[in-house]
A = this chain, B = another copy of it.
């Protein structure tokens, strides 16, 4: 039996009993990005250290530089990941052929934007941590605005369809899309900073109100 020696080795190698594992590059990258998200949410972007992230990931300090070359790179890729996840989700709903009714499509979008997945404190924290730095960091600004632009165009197109279908007068799709996006951003901010005063339920209701005022024939 080799059990005894194996146990001793395991304990000596790591407090959690895990052995050193070799995994594909893509998997390690994702592990590190996930750990970074958790660290930013818990400690704030400005307090995140490489030691913190790698400990959170259950890996050694050297590995982050092996896969990302630098901290700046890791942070940049983390932002890209979160940004793309959010905007791909939106676009999937807006382009998806599975929903034919436009009112249902609006509902699905709202559910996604203010539903469980996105409004996790974790994701919102990351989101706004980067927004906070974007004013001083053109790199962040570029990532966010690039990915934002496409979603904005799709939303505008969806609104335009609804306006045509409902024959709404005096409604500009571009203006309305800008307003709706801003409203959602603002609600996310409220959910993050003043969770006591703004519940998810109320945030949904507020966003729905906005849409109902614009498209009364499609919402409710």
Query: Is A217 engaged at the interface, CB distance under 8 Å to the other chain?
Result: no
Question: Which residues on the B side are within 8 Å of A53 (C-beta)?
Answer: none
Report yes or no: A152 in contact with B186, Cβ–Cβ below 8 A: no
Report yes or no: B144 in contact with A135, Cβ–Cβ below 8 A: no
Question: Which residues on the B side are within 8 Å of A129 (C-beta)?
Answer: 132-133, 135
Point out residues on A near B: beta carbons under 8 Å: 40-47, 121, 124-125, 128-137, 141, 144-145, 148-149, 152, 175-176, 178-179, 181-187, 189-190, 192-194, 196-198, 202-203, 205-207, 209-210, 213-214
Question: Which residues on the B side are within 8 Å of A152 (C-beta)?
Answer: 197
Assembly CA distance A42 to B133 (angstroms):
10
Question: Which residues on the B side are within 8 Å of A121 (C-beta)?
Answer: 135
Report yes or no: A186 in contact with B181, Cβ–Cβ below 8 A: yes
Question: Which residues on the B side are within 8 Å of A45 (C-beta)?
Answer: 46, 132-133
Taking A44-B133, A128-B131, A128-B135 as given, write out 18 further A-B residue pairs in contact, using a Cβ cutoff of 8 Å, ordered by the A residue number.
A41-B136, A45-B46, A46-B46, A124-B135, A128-B128, A130-B132, A131-B193, A132-B132, A135-B192, A141-B194, A144-B193, A144-B194, A148-B197, A149-B197, A176-B209, A185-B186, A185-B189, A210-B210
- A49–chain B nearest beta-carbon distance, Å: 11
